[in-house]
Structures are given as structure tokens and as C-alpha cells.
Structure 1
């Protein structure tokens, strides 16, 4: 069976890295299941020969410049306080025609969709693909409107403040913070009209799967939970003292690690909650060895006005290679992932594979990644005081912290090894192929 993975990029961003890891798992372990995997992206950053990048075959230079302008025009007048990316996935790009040609040439028995967004495949192109489809969701866009995530929870809330995906995007369900054309409803209606046959959905966490099952758009589809794989040779424990020496960090200080693309710029990542938790923790540990606490932030350069927490903050900037990030995981005593919304949490899985305990809120995909009190600690969403207590619980007992780290590595080896994940996807592909034969007349799945 020939599989084509479709994603906007191969390694640019968390979703792309996850999609690429899935692809590489199938390249390396798919032969045992009778599978071959190729990846088709628009933006290619690797030199992997199994990845093809660039604009769709046959796309004219004029359309290449016109298509994003039309997409931008479709958003005109829309206003929202939801800071997440919004994608209308319109108009047609031409990639759908290329995939159809590859299907006719026997190169694509099944298409595996990942993160798409604007400029990859349009909503209509997805609906016209005739081959069996599997779609790994990396956020909520597939069953939402134009938004990739619903509005993040506000202070004191444990869930999203709007869930139109479960209500069907009626005009009455529109949140008060939006104005102008109802872009989300319009995009949702386009999906409902265009997608008329079964798609096998894969979610990396039970939280995202639950959202998909509750959605009006995809609630009747087959949905399976498969975690993202991780290369356990790349992401592996190494000596903490050596890692700190290589990174120029003090040898005998407790280190908290936090990271996100853009650092604290994305409110979903919860940097504000972490800072408040660390302020509380600082006052709690006065006069103890933990008062020498220091923070390392990767994915962000030092801002012009860094927060004053009463202890040093080290900013790494954007890390260009996995080895550097592995060293920071090894150098840290605890990794904190204070996200308000997270489909899976790859920094949490990477840290645990490196033997570093993780603290997070008990919400979203992080509930699946962190085994509470076994590989780290889960705090009450979204309570800075509870987060401070969780960080303190990990740091205060060095022997317990070492046990947490060892258990974290063992959990990674058990759940996220590429061979295991490849086998789980092989099962989904087999089910999708059988379903494709049964539904060659495009049986509708929407009500």
C-alpha cells in the first residue's frame, strides 16, 4: 500500500514535526506491514528524499500569486478576539489534482492528511479526493470553522468559552467578541457541503478525540487515538552535569525549563500562568535550597523588558537543532508545560524521553502525556497556586525527582516508540482501505 502524507511543511512548527515523525516511523517500520510512505508538503526544510516540496504540479505562476490574495480577501472585515490562526482553505490550490494524478498512476493508494491551513489543500479539494482518506488532527480546525482552536479558557474557567463545533455554528451561537462577516460559520458550512464521504480520523489525545466526537461535523466518523511517535535514540537521557557545562549553566542550581515557539507570545501556552506560579514559588521557598531557582526559556530571545521574578532567567532564542534542545532537557530538573490548550504536547513527551519530569495542568492532551505523580505532576487548571505546588513537589525531593525521570523514560519507551505507532497506523490504513471499497459511491456521513 502506497501512502502519501500531506502537510503544509515537513518540520516548521510543532504540527509539522509531529507529521514528519509519523511519516518517518512509517518509512522505517512500514515495510513490515506492507506499507510505503511518501510526504508531500508545500514548504520543505529537510533534504529527506522521501519528502517532496514546492507548489502543486501544474500550478501557474499567476495563480501562485493570486491564490493567497483571494484567500486574504475572503477574511475581509472579520474581527475576533480569539488569537489563534484562522484558515479558510479557499480557493483551490491545484494540489488535489496532483494527488489524483498520483492515485491514477498507482503512487497513492491512500492519502493521509495532517495540518493543512491555507495554501495546501482547499476544503473543496479534500472533498473531491476519491481515494481512502485518513486524517491525523493536530488541532481543532478539521471540525471547527476557520479557527484552529476555540477561544482559550479565561481565568477561572476549565474549558473553552466557546464550543460552536458542538452546536453547528448557528448564528445564535456566535460569540460576542466577533464582528463583521461570520467567517467561522461560512467556513464550517463549506466543509459540511464539500465533505460527503467517510474519513478515518486519528487524534493524538483523548481530549482531542472527545472534541471530535462531540462535533456536529465529525461526530459520526470513525475516530481512533494514536499518540505521536518520538525517536528514542535522538531524545534520550544524558548526564545533567555535562549538559550544564556544555550550555554554560551553573552546576548546582535547581532549573525549571519552559519552551514554546515564540516563547510567551501565544496565550494558549500559558506563560503568564507560569510566571505567576514562579512568583508564588519564590516566596514559598525563601530560606531553603530552592531559593536558588533559575528559569530557562527556549524558543524566545531575551525581551527588551524581561519579567522580574527575583531569580535569573536564561533565554535561549530559537534552537535550530534537536541536540541543543536535548541538552536543555537534560540540564533541567523539571520541564513545565503550562498550556491552556494542547492537542498532545510534544515538548512534554520529548522531556520525558530525556528522563526529565514534567509539570502541567490537568487538561487537554497533556493528561495523556504526563502520568500524574509517576512521571511528573498535574496541577488544577488553570490555577497558578496549584502549578507552584506541583513544581515544588517535583523539586523538593531529589530522590523522588530521579525516580520520576526514570519512570518518564520508561513510559516513553512503552508508548511512543516509532515501531509501535507505525503498527497502529497500519491498522487504521487497513480499515480505511476496506471502508473505501465499501463506500465507493460516496455514502454521506453528514446529517
Structure 2
């Protein structure tokens, strides 16, 4: 039986962690010996392993994660764009599950987990390595979100995120460390979105590396459609109102989440609908303190963090449309989960969102960074004459392209091809 080990920094904390665990579950359903091992384990799932054998090792791991992030502030400008320095790291090659695996599958390995030297060390095992890029960090000099910066096409340096930017700044030094490591380790890249695949092909660090595009998956038996009125009643939403749902709501300063565009588009929509504004409500879920949120032009309800997938699925199903104003996202799970629950999505034409949202079929793709176009999308869905059809198409688009069986089999085809090559 094929043995696969997945390595990720956390167990389900963040989109990459969820993607890793969901892929593992999909592979287990195909009778594959698949395991997840993490750098730092928050949960209590006994099926997920970690590298910390005792309390002291776990404490040290937590300390390095915190220290790396605190020290980073000395060198970074006061921007909200995530950046990793990789000062700390750990060896993984002596763990029995890693040593016994036929395939080593890397996922998100930042926060003092696998720095370049420890990535290179994996080559000593002589095993096929697959690496899913959940953001841009693997092929940049440190940033996780690039926006319009093209320095990764060269050798980084003069990084706009660093206080002391220069041709030989930290971003260039990190690029050099990664380049040295990647020369020593051969790995197959998986890009979850077409946008990510195109980005990797532009990267100077990834020249000569093999790359394929395979999306993430999700449990479609959990994220499923429900009767709208029933779901609204269960969630306590007003049955007579059109409910716009949105995820984690940052402040105006968190650039890549696009909050300012959402606010502007809602203000435009309110002017367009006039007296019917009372028939519209915005519902927001996420972990932002409600004292630190913008003022919205429509009645807004904050649900706080939803940790239970079944409740989250019911929340998606209860909404009439989902709003995602992100300016850069690989393959955002909120979009996939919402569509799977039969709820159409409005988002910008950016990142991996167009891989999931088909314009005027299961949602609306707004012109990038255009609040006017985003408002057009909201108005289009409000006035759509056959909402049940739109909802059915949303669900079917996920079943046809992102279901567990489909994504597991695509990974298995890749794994088997790599194992044959090494035999």
C-alpha cells in the first residue's frame, strides 16, 4: 500500500492546514496509508502526529514561533503583508513516519518549521517529494502575498516590505538560501489554482522544477445545500431579508482582504436600492473583535468565530450570497465551501477565485479593484429571476471539480507516477 506523509506547520489552523487535513481524509477514503505530521499541534486528534515528544519540546517550538515573529517586526515596515524570515527550523528526516513514507508531501512549512537548510536535508532520504504551494512564500524572498511586486522574477532584493531595503537586503539573502536548497532537493510542485501555477512559472527560484495544477478539496457531505428558509430560521437570520454573508473582516488597513472596496461597494448599493435598503442585511463571521470593525451602510450582524464545520455550513446555506473582496488569494476555502452549500459568490477577478466562480453561472466576477463592478454583482444577484437554479449550479460546480474522489484520484495519479520514476 502506498504510504504518504503530509507535513504542515499547524493542524487545521488556517486554510493550508485545513487543505492538508482534508486531502489526507480524501486519501484515507481511497484506502491509502496517509498521515499528517505537524510542527505545532493545537488540537487533540490522535490521528495527527507532531514532532514534539514532550512538553519541553512543544514549549521550545512555541517559543521559536513567537520569537521569529517578534524579531521580524524589527526589520519590517508597519504593513499588514505577511513575511517570513525562517531564522529557526527543525529537522524532520529522523521521524519514523517520514523515513517510512513512499511520498513526502510538504504543505505550509513556515513559522520556524522547515527553513531552507532543513528543506535541503530531506534530499538525504532519496524519496519523491511533492510540495503544495498554498501561498507565494516558497518562491519569494520572504513575502507570502506579492500584489504587483515582480522582484521574485529575478533574485528579490530591494524589498518594499523591509525597512532597510537594498539590492542585498534580507529578501535577497533569503532568496539565495532558498535557491541553494532547491538545487539540492528535487520536488514536484502542486499549484492549487491556475493563478498560482502562472505565478510559479514566472519565478526565478522555480526554473527547471516540474509543476502541476490540482485544486484543494473539501468534505462535500458536510458543506452541502439546505433549504434557505429552514437554514435562516436555524441561524436566527431574518427570513424576509436578503442576506449577504462575508468572512473574517479585517480593518481598512489590511490591504489584501480588500475591506475598503467592500465598504465602498456597499455604499454604492445602498444608493441604488434606495428605500429597499431595509430589506438587505450583512452578516459577518470571523475572529475580529467587533469593536475594531468598520461601520457598514447596511444593518450588520457579527457572528464571531465559528469553529464547527456543520454550523459554518448551515451559515453558508442560510445566506443568499457570499461576498469576498480579497485582492489576492490562492484558492480561498470560503468560496469553495459557500458554493458547495449552494450559495452564489461575488468576488474580484483575482487569484484562484475565477477557478471556482463562473461569471453569471454560480456567482459574479467583478472587475479587479472596482467597487462599482462589485456593486453591480450584488445588484445582479439580488435581481436574479431564478435563484434556486443559481443555487443548484453553485453546488454542482463544486461536485464536478473539487469533490473528494476527484481530487484524491488526481493526487494518486501524481504519486504513482513519481514512485514509478524512483523505482
Aligned counterpart, 1:125: 118
| Conserved 8 A contact 1:297-1:314 | yes
* Cα separation, 2, equivalents of 1:57 and 1:219: 40
Change (3 A) 1:109 1:384: same
Cα RMSD over matched residues? 2.5
Aligned counterpart, 1:255: 243
Deviations 1:155-201 (A, max 9, x none): xxxxx2312111221x4xx2455322622212111111112232100
* Cα separation, 2, equivalents of 1:239 and 1:407: 15
Aligned counterpart, 2:303: 316
| Conserved 8 A contact 2:243-2:283 | yes
| Conserved 8 A contact 2:328-2:351 | yes
| Conserved 8 A contact 1:90-1:118 | no
Deviations 1:81-101 (A, max 9, x none): 55222222233323x2334x5
Aligned counterpart, 1:329: 316
For residue 213 of structure 2, the aligned residue among 208, 214, 225 is 225
Aligned counterpart, 1:13: 14
| Conserved 8 A contact 2:261-2:325 | yes
Q: Does 1:242 align with 2:243?
A: no
Paired residue secondary structure (1:294): strand
The correspondence of residues 408-419 of structure 1 with structure 2, limited to 5 A, is: 408-419=394-405
Q: Does 1:407 align with 2:393?
A: yes
Change (3 A) 1:302 1:250: farther
| Conserved 8 A contact 1:292-1:311 | no
Aligned counterpart, 2:149: 162
Change (3 A) 1:27 1:45: farther
For residue 187 of structure 1, the aligned residue among 156, 165, 174 is 174
Deviations 1:114-151 (A, max 9, x none): 0111222222111111321100111001111111111x
Paired residue secondary structure (1:202): strand
Aligned counterpart, 1:91: 88
For residue 348 of structure 2, the aligned residue among 349, 361, 368 is 361
More displaced, 85-94 or 412-421? 85-94
Q: Does 1:433 align with 2:401?
A: no
The correspondence of residues 21-420 of structure 1 with structure 2, limited to 5 A, is: 21-29=22-30, 31=31, 35-55=32-52, 64=61, 67-68=64-65, 71=68, 75=72, 77-80=74-77, 82-94=79-91, 96-99=92-95, 101-104=96-99, 107-129=100-122, 130=125, 131-150=127-146, 160-169=147-156, 171=157, 174-176=158-160, 178-180=162-164, 182-196=169-183, 197-260=185-248, 266-287=254-275, 289=276, 291-300=278-287, 303-304=290-291, 306-399=293-386, 401-420=387-406
* Cα separation, 1, equivalents of 2:199 and 2:76: 25
* Cα separation, 2, equivalents of 1:48 and 1:410: 31
Change (3 A) 1:59 1:168: farther
| Conserved 8 A contact 1:227-1:416 | yes
Number of positions where the alignment pairs a residue of Structure 1 with one of Structure 2: 415
| Conserved 8 A contact 1:301-1:316 | no
Deviations 1:394-425 (A, max 9, x none): 111241x3211110111111111111111100
